[in-house]
Amino acid sequence: MGDRSEYMKAWYEANKEKHRAKAKAWYEANKEKNKAYDKAYRKANKEKIQTRMKVYYESNKDKILAQKKVYYESNKDKLLAQTKVWQQNNKDKRKAAKAKRRTAKLQRTPSWLTKEALEKIKDIYKMAYRRSQIEGIEYQVDHIIPLQGKKVSGLHVPNNLQIMSAKENRSKLNKYKVE
């Protein structure tokens, strides 16, 4: 068996381009069949695929995040332009997302908050705005425990707020790390 596998490896190395061209031609000729098969496979094996992807992501997290960062930095202008076009073409979706966010914030602002606490919340937002003005970097108010977390949801109260750069806040996403 070892001789055969060695032979196949040597043949592949000697005929790599020919093999790739043949495989590409076959794929192009059978594109629709492949799409249907792929779709059916993904549907039938959804959990298996998700588990495999999660395991891969966890074991290669640093590498994946580094690649994403490099890609973002080298394509920043292109990505920002795409985002702007998407936002202009999907104003209804943007408005719906903003409304959902406002509603979540209102629902998670307790009725028992004092006037002083509400003023403190306003002051935190003012401080973030002033810091952005002074430093020239966009700062945002972040909810330490997200308002719409998957496992836990926080409240819109002063001790759940922190000021952080927009970049850090976007990378944190909607996650809460228990320390």
In which band, very low, low, confident or very high, does the pLDDT at 100 lie, cut at 50, 70 and 90?
confident
> d(Cα 165, Cα 63) in Å, to the nearest integer?
23
127 within a domain of the structure (yes/no)? yes
Q: Shortest CA distance to 146 belongs to which of 97, 95, 104?
A: 104
Rg (CA), the chain: 25
pLDDT at 53: 94
Question: What is the tally of structural domains in the chain?
Answer: 1
Contact, 120 vs 158, CB < 8 A?
yes
Please give the pLDDT value at position 131.
Answer: 94
pTM (2 decimals)? 0.52
pLDDT per residue over 108-141, tens digit each?
889 999 999 999 999 999 999 999 999 999 999 9
pLDDT at position 2 over 70: no
**Within a domain: residue 4?**
no
Domain range for 137? 111-179
Tell me, yes or no, whether 177 lies in a domain. Answer: yes
Q: Would 152 be classed as within a structural domain?
A: yes
In a domain, 99, yes or no: no
**For 91, what's the count of Cα atoms within 13 Å in the CB-facing half-sphere?**
1
Which amino acid, 19?
A: H
pLDDT in tens, 51-87: 999 999 999 999 999 999 999 999 999 999 999 999 9
Whole-Å CA distances, 147 to 103, 105, 112: 10, 7, 17
Q: How far apart are CA 142 and CA 175, in angstroms?
A: 11
N-term to C-term CA, the chain: 53
Q: Quick one: pLDDT at residue 130?
A: 95
Q: Per the domain annotation, does 164 fall within a domain?
A: yes
Residue 62 falls inside a structural domain: no
In a domain, 98, yes or no: no
Instruction: Read off the pLDDT of residues 21-58 as tens digits, 9 standing for 90 and up.
Output: 999 999 889 888 888 888 899 999 999 999 999 999 99
Alpha carbon separation from 7 to 12, 19, 20, 44 (Å, rounded)? 9, 15, 18, 37
Q: Phi and psi dihedrals of 150, rounded to 5?
A: -75, -40
Is residue 109 within 8 A of residue 153, CB to CB? The reply is no
Half-sphere exposure for 97 (CA within 13 Å, toward CB): 6
Which is higher by pLDDT, 142 or 153? Answer: 142
